[in-house]
Structure 1
């Protein structure tokens, strides 16, 4: 392997040596990335999606407890997942708030149908791009 060969030739504390060492330590993750073409090599998209929340975090005083922070993380995840799956977040949340109180949450199949990537989500929740 080219990296292993180069690792023996460069100074370990040099910038290049450090980069090679880092790459070799992350090899299994890189190999996973290469096996699935849907995976992105960086997390720029997720960083951009949380930017509004990071900028406004001082405005959200309810997140000053672990329970508040967990609740915030859950709702942000639901909203961003809806956006990633071409759903209107408001319509999707309305749909969830109508369905969840009337179902057994132990029913995994029923819960799976509520996931933002499910084909069972009604068209009224979907955003159709022009």
Structure 2
């Protein structure tokens, strides 16, 4: 099945934030550029979407989808129309054209969150999960071989998936490695991180 892109609104908003950063502009003194009212309006509109996401955080995918279609979809429709109108009247040399076109040229991907409640509005969580690899890669110069690198990637995926499901990776891996050989194929799904249940601990017995 082909991958379906869903773009990150944190990245889509970033250039507007920079152009609307009043505090940063004040620190530039005489070299400061004029604050763009279009950037301010873009940030205001996008922040309305982020506010809805904060309210629905932790709800089921089905409930998030319902609320997004009810509240976020109209905001996205208005935002797209406003961006296209601003793009049409701005000079091609305007510093607003690039961030506006970044959104419009990828609009289907940015708007996909109102069609699937499982999609996150940003990929911040994924980037945080990869931060350890970015910090440690200089110490991990070699994997020994291409196959070694592939195995490293597989293990990293397993470990991070366990963490995303609030599971201790060490306990999970130790348990599934001990059980998987005897597990019937039709029950293998029970070992997936989102289905896995830790084995019941054996209560200690005291001598009578």
TM-score tier by shorter-chain length is 0.7 to 0.9
Compute the RMSD of aligned alpha carbons: 2.3
- Provide the rounded CA distance (Å) in 1 between the counterparts of 2:90 and 2:160: 43
Structure 2 unmatched ranges of 5 or more: 1-80, 201-208
**Closer, same or farther: CA 11–89 of 1 in aligned 2, 3 Å:** same
**Closer, same or farther: CA 68–3 of 1 in aligned 2, 3 Å:** same
Offset, 1:85: 0.7
Q: Out of 158, 176, 191, which is 1:96 matched to?
A: 176
Cα deviation 1:51-77 (Å, max 9, x = unaligned) = 222222233355253222211111111
Q: Out of 146, 149, 166, which is 1:69 matched to?
A: 149
Is the Cα contact below 8 Å between 2:172 and 2:198 reproduced in 1?
A: no
Is the Cα contact below 8 Å between 1:12 and 1:18 reproduced in 2?
A: no
- Residue 22 (structure 1) aligned with residue 97 (structure 2): no
Offset, 1:89: 0.7
Is the Cα contact below 8 Å between 1:3 and 1:20 reproduced in 2?
A: yes
Q: Secondary structure at the match of 2:96?
A: helix
TM-score computed with the length of structure 1 as normaliser:
0.76
How does 1:13-92 map onto structure 2 within 5 Å? 13-92=93-172
Is the Cα contact below 8 Å between 1:33 and 1:40 reproduced in 2?
A: yes
Equivalent in the alignment of 2:197: 122
Across the two proteins, how many residue pairs are aligned to each other? 120
Structure 1 unmatched ranges of 5 or more: 126-130
TM-score computed with the length of structure 2 as normaliser:
0.50
